[in-house]
Structure 1
Amino acid sequence: MKISLEALMMLDAIETRGSFAAAAEALHRVPSALTHAVRKLEEDLGFPLFHKVGRRAVLTPAGRTLLDDGRVLLRAAGDLECRARRIATGWESELRIAIDGTLDAAALNPIIAEFYADYGGTRLKLMYEVLGGTWDALATGRADLVIGAVGDPPAGATYATREWGNQEFLFCVAPHHPLAVAPEPIPTDLARQYRAVVVSDTSRQLVARTAGLLDGQDTLTVPDIAAKAAAQRAGLGIGHLPRQLAEREAAAGRLVVKRLNSSTPRAPLWLAWQSNQRGRALQWFVERLLEPDCAAALQAPAG
């Protein structure tokens, strides 16, 4: 291969500083040695890379193409070196974070910005999971950290966990749904007669979980909490929504909050990760997410 990273760095220095002499000084090389290296590269490639315009060295069209694409390689090599150095000091090359689908992932953006400002060498990958899907993502290795995992951890799991609050749900129906005018508390036998809108559990290996579903109730399964709220607004079914989302929809007149004769569902939320993981990015996020009011911010409805 005739092109090396060293050759690309040499071309970059010449083009940036405008002359062989200035580039040689920046690269701590003798000007004659730099000139010889460029001439040798041009001979090997079979075409000129620079031509003179006054005292300035200017790239030829072929040289411009070579350097423009080569700078992509230089940046990639720099990133690779940075990531390798960070791994050697305990920072992960990538951190995969699974977020429960009832939470607002956008509320993580300020925290991510903090992380990037000081520790930007670790790549972050965010994903939504639903119900048992958060635990499943941890169990199957899809995620390194789960935020807002619902319910108790699977039996026998060796996860490190921290309590992260509770998610409260309210029962909601569309204003034009028959249950909107039903006397409260609504008997569960009456609610069971109407279709429930449920979000599909994203578990792949663990047993799928359900929440707020009555025995024998017909269901409409949707992919996420936003689709569930939309289906309930359209009167396609009934069901529970996170308190903050339900209250927002009720305040806008799009849904009606009703009281069942059963207790209001509450789900414990957890931060969880594999107990044998010690990465510094993981520990940074755990400590940051455990700060006061962080859980409440992520439970606020998006938009």
Structure 2
Amino acid sequence: MSADVRLEWFVSFLAVIDTGSFVAAAESTRRSQPRVSTHVASLEREIGLPLFDRRKRPVELTGAGAALAVHAREILHALESAEASMAPWRGGTRGVVTLGSYPSASAAFVPRLLASLRRSSPDVQVVLLERSTLELDDALTSGAVDAYLRPMSPPPASASARSLPLWNEPLVVVHAPEHPLARLPEPIPLGAVVEHPIVSIGRLDAPETGEFESYQLFREHGYEVEPVQATNQPQTLVSLVRQGIGVGVTNWLAAQVADTTGVEVRRLEGPAGRRVAVCWDSVRPLTPAARTLLHGIIDTEPPAGTDPTPERARARRAGPR
């Protein structure tokens, strides 16, 4: 590759990877779609190889594209680190940092976090990347995120991922007002729930889904859940319940951020719940901007209805290392 390669080509190239399409990449980078396409095409001409298989939807990386993506991220991260290292001479931390999050945390926690950071660290730009839990694991491994919020079960796929628990939240049942479960007092017994079709979080075709907290809770009490449908979107789960597809089993926060008109949300039997953490790569050095983001996450109060963890309390005093 010659020195004529432009950094903006890398930015557009990585945006297509992270968003899954040229249209979404244009939106995330605030560029026109033709400009993003031109950047990627220019990079392909310089490399002499196709970077994407455009016959597939969404577009997929070629082998050459996957290899280049690793180096492109390293180059941009190095530039961000160099920029952030100038903070002491500017009087404050600055730089771009990418935060990964799953749907319910994005709605109930991230807005207050970003508002707080805008006041305390206006020169730190946070890019939000929303994915399902398992997709966020891949994003950390590939370097697409600097830190991300995720439930602690199943554990992160990467051995180098470091986690700091932030809050605990109960599991809930979502059902129609006239459903037979409505006649039972809270907490709803597990045995009563498994008598009905269940809509759960996760994906039906993902083996890791069975490691989520709700599945573990039923398994510990001798029940094996076989949901009729599963989704990672809180509003979709509620809508499926509203249409009579099944009884929803999910976490407290997911139910709180969804429009639950026409359904009941009630606590599920058992002490187990969802434990949510912030994760980062212990091998990859944190930039000053990423460290500022971590401090902001720790200092932001957990969502209402959840219980802060002792680990968060200790970290507020010591800060992440």
Larger Rg: 1
- 1:170 equivalent in structure 2: 172
2:301 aligned partner, one-letter code: C
- 1:290 equivalent in structure 2: 298
Partner SS for 1:235: coil
Q: Deviations over 1:66-117 (max 9, x none)?
A: xxxxxxxxxxxxxxxx979734527675321111333243643343244345
| Cα contact 2:97–2:126 (8 A) shared by 1 | yes
The answer to whether 1:232 aligns with 2:241 is yes
Gap change, CA 1:149 and 1:242, over 3 Å in 2: closer
Gap change, CA 1:253 and 1:99, over 3 Å in 2: same
| Cα contact 2:201–2:250 (8 A) shared by 1 | no
Gap change, CA 1:272 and 1:202, over 3 Å in 2: farther
Q: Distance in 2 between matches of 1:88 and 1:111?
A: 24
Q: Deviations over 1:107-132 (max 9, x none)?
A: 43343244345644554221233344
Taking structure 2 as the reference length, the TM-score comes to 0.53
The answer to whether 1:266 aligns with 2:273 is yes
Q: Distance in 2 between matches of 1:101 and 1:110?
A: 15
| Unaligned stretches of 5+ residues in structure 1 | 1-81
- 1:89 equivalent in structure 2: 86
Gap change, CA 1:168 and 1:218, over 3 Å in 2: closer
Q: Distance in 1 between matches of 2:235 and 2:205?
A: 19
| Unaligned stretches of 5+ residues in structure 2 | 1-78, 88-92, 216-222, 308-321
For residue 161 of structure 1, the aligned residue among 153, 160, 163 is: 163
| Cα contact 1:132–1:149 (8 A) shared by 2 | no
- 1:219 equivalent in structure 2: 228
2:196 aligned partner, one-letter code: Y
- 1:126 equivalent in structure 2: 128
Taking structure 1 as the reference length, the TM-score comes to 0.56
Q: Distance in 1 between matches of 2:149 and 2:199?
A: 24
| Cα contact 1:185–1:259 (8 A) shared by 2 | yes
| Cα contact 1:169–1:265 (8 A) shared by 2 | yes
- 2:287 equivalent in structure 1: 279
The answer to whether 1:195 aligns with 2:197 is yes
Gap change, CA 1:140 and 1:202, over 3 Å in 2: farther
Partner SS for 1:151: coil
Q: Distance in 2 between matches of 1:184 and 1:298?
A: 16
Gap change, CA 1:160 and 1:239, over 3 Å in 2: same
Q: Distance in 2 between matches of 1:242 and 1:288?
A: 24
Aligned residue pairs total: 215
Structure 1 residue 257, shift from structure 2 partner: 1.8
2:274 aligned partner, one-letter code: A
Partner SS for 2:226: coil
Structure 1 residue 161, shift from structure 2 partner: 2.4
Map residues 63-74 of structure 1 onto 2, 5 A cutoff: none
| Cα contact 2:174–2:238 (8 A) shared by 1 | no
Alpha-carbon RMSD: 4.1
- 2:312 equivalent in structure 1: none
Structure 1 residue 143, shift from structure 2 partner: 1.6
Gap change, CA 1:154 and 1:274, over 3 Å in 2: same
Q: Distance in 2 between matches of 1:165 and 1:218?
A: 27
Partner SS for 1:212: helix
- 1:72 equivalent in structure 2: none
Q: Deviations over 1:208-255 (max 9, x none)?
A: 543424525232123411211232233321133333565798996631
The answer to whether 1:255 aligns with 2:264 is yes
| Cα contact 1:136–1:203 (8 A) shared by 2 | no
Q: Distance in 2 between matches of 1:164 and 1:202?
A: 28
2:242 aligned partner, one-letter code: R
- The farther-off stretch of 165-174 and 282-291 is 165-174
